[in-house]
């Protein structure tokens, strides 16, 4: 889906505790640093749908396992009406970059804690995002 | 200690999973985005000593509990020879900013996983940091 990019990330093993890469300023699809924050999601709970009109998201899952579903409702998109699904965790360790204009929801898959880091291109601004109740788009 | 800054961070409670702030481009002491990575540290293990000559560190502990010890060996510093100690976790949720030129080590305090996020001002460059065996500075 145009505007959705998965970039493999390295995990450097260390007997005292691993190093997990997240994002470099030279990484593909990096644009700008606005804000970094964590969002945790309980097992079986879903946060979404949310659409950002300006923010580029860079999502990394260092703890647990989270399923992301992206829905394309962009009027000029060749993939309008399509869904993109991916489950991220340390065993499928990728950075998920999402350009503005796409609907996103995510679900906690791991039975203990599930945490994502979002390194966003702009700071949080309540007016730049839209929310829609989960019931308005049927999950695939 | 000059060059060491603790900034309180918000945790926004949510029944589906909390939001934990980390860093904004407008935050105090933010300079530039170079790289973000995670470092995990096992219970009772210590990583360090390490000194960065260029990198500014912004350290956040979203999982577990980590003790940081900073040692000032800067020749022109008013606090030369001093130690700075702090334990960070979600119950003492601060961002720890460390300017270049200070020695750092950190220890896993939580019995399950302990993870820090470092949002660094430059990308990793092996030549800009120095390592010293833990035995050369007695921990306070």
Indicate the domain borders of chain A. Answer: 4-125
Say how many C-beta atoms besides its own lie within 10 A of residue A79's C-beta.
15
Q: Which residues in chain A are contacts of B134 at CB distance < 8 A?
A: none
The reply to whether residue B113 touches residue A63, judged by beta carbons under 8 angstroms, is yes
The reply to whether residue A20 touches residue B37, judged by beta carbons under 8 angstroms, is yes
CATH code reported for the domain at B4-133: 2.60.120.10
Cis omega (within 30 of 0) on the bond before B49?
yes
DSSP letter assigned to residue A102: -
Under an 8 Å CB criterion, which residues of A touch B? 16-26, 32-42, 45-47, 62-63, 108, 113-115, 117, 119, 123-124
Distance, in angstroms, between B76 CA and closest chain A CA?
Answer: 32
Nearest to B115 by CA among B19, B11, B37: B37
DSSP letter assigned to residue B53: S
Considering only alpha carbons, which residue of chain B is nearest residue A58? B36
Render each residue's pLDDT in chain B as its tens digit; 140 residues: 999 999 999 999 999 999 999 999 999 999 999 999 999 999 999 999 999 999 999 999 999 999 999 999 999 999 999 999 999 999 999 999 999 999 999 999 999 999 999 999 999 999 999 999 998 888 77
CATH class for the region spanning A4-125: mainly beta
The reply to whether residue B17 touches residue A119, judged by beta carbons under 8 angstroms, is no
Cis omega (within 30 of 0) on the bond before B31?
no
Bridge partners, B7 (sequence order): B95
Predicted TM-score (pTM) above 0.95: yes
> From the candidates A26, A30, A38, which should be mutated to test the interface with B, based on the most B CB atoms within 10 A?
A38
Distance separating alpha carbons of residues B52 and B127, to the nearest angstrom: 9
Say how many C-beta atoms besides its own lie within 10 A of residue A99's C-beta.
18
Rounded to an integer, the average pLDDT of A50-78 is 97
The reply to whether residue A16 touches residue B41, judged by beta carbons under 8 angstroms, is yes
């Amino acid at each position: 889906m145009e505007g959705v990019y998965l970039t493999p990330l390295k995990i450097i093993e260390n007997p005292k505790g691993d190093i997990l890469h997240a994002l470099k300023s030279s990484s593909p699809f990096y644009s700008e640093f606005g804000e970094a924050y964590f969002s945790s999601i309980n097992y079986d709970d879903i946060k979404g749908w949310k659409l950002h009109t300006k923010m580029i998201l860079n999502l990394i899952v260092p703890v647990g396992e989270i399923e992301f579903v992206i829905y394309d409702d962009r009027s000029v998109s060749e993939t309008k009406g399509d869904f993109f699904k991916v489950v991220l965790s340390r065993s499928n360790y990728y950075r998920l970059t999402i350009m503005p204009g796409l609907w996103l929801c995510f679900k906690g898959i791991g039975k203990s804690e599930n945490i994502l880091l979002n390194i966003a291109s702009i700071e949080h601004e309540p007016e730049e995002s839209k929310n829609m109740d989960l019931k308005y788009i049927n999950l695939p």
